Chain A
Amino acid sequence: MEIEIISFGQITEFINNQKIEVDGITDTDAFKQYLEDRFPALKGLKYKLALNKNIVQQNTEITNQATIAIMPPFSGG
């Protein structure tokens, strides 16, 4: 299935916005594992995912054409 990845903050420095084709990934926990394997720089960082514009609080199912944002800790204000 196709997933669109968008990144923010510090993570934009090593993950570009892109569409990827993945198989066998059905939930956000598996997706995190995939991301950390593919982008090892992510491993040492704190980050949250947002699935289709909702911040992921617990493992959530991913469906085709999902948009997943990778967000480091917030630093507004």
Chain B
Amino acid sequence: MSEKKIKNIFVKGPIEPAFIADSIAKHSSKTAIGGHSIFMGQVRKDEIDGKFVAAIEYTAYEEIALDKMHQIREDIFEKYPLHCMHIYHSLGTVKTGEICLFVFTSSAHRKPAIAACDEVVDRLKAELPIWGKEIFEDKTHQWKENS
């Protein structure tokens, strides 16, 4: 197998809006880029049996998740003409209204960036061993299921 450089995607706690803004700003020197696509996942205040979700606590099997993410990244770069791709996912507690996932793809023209961003989100949800525990306002919990 070729040399692989495994990038970390995990961030402890929520992904701060300032971090996202800074990440966008860093691309101003990459002048071949003409389109960015960004997806942000936000913890939703779902109501289940009269109780509201207050936070999601994320855990992961990190080694497998990073290895899988590396494969997905390689597949996506092979499939779409991207300039760059950045992915961050929270671990630990993220309160409702806070950001738990940030996917950022860039290309010369918009379409590959949009398609790649969408595909990364789909694959990440299906293939990465990450689990969300929905914590209700009364401290009870249920395990999140991706629909």
Contacts and interface: CB of A to CB of B under 8 A. Distances in A.
Nearest to A6: B61
Contacts of A74: 125-131, 146
Contact of A77 (B61, B125, B143): B125
B61 A69 contact: yes
A75 B144 CA distance: 6
Contacts of B59: 8-9
A50 B125 CA distance: 18
Contacts of B126: 74
Interface in B16-57: 41
Q: Which bracket fits the contact residues of B? A: 20 to 34
A50 B144 CA distance: 21
Contacts of B65: 76
Interface in A36-73: 50, 53-55, 69, 71-73
B103 to A, nearest CB: 9
A55 B60 CA distance: 14
B114 interface: no
B95 interface: no
Interface residues of A, number: 15
Contact of A76 (B63, B67, B89, B143): B89
Interface in B113-147: 121, 124-133, 143-146
Given A75-B145, A77-B100, A8 B61 contact: yes
Given A74-B128, A76-B128, 19 more contacts: A10-B131, A50-B64, A69-B61, A69-B64, A69-B129, A71-B61, A72-B143, A73-B145, A73-B146, A74-B130, A75-B132, A75-B143, A75-B144, A75-B146, A76-B58, A76-B89, A76-B130, A76-B132, A77-B146
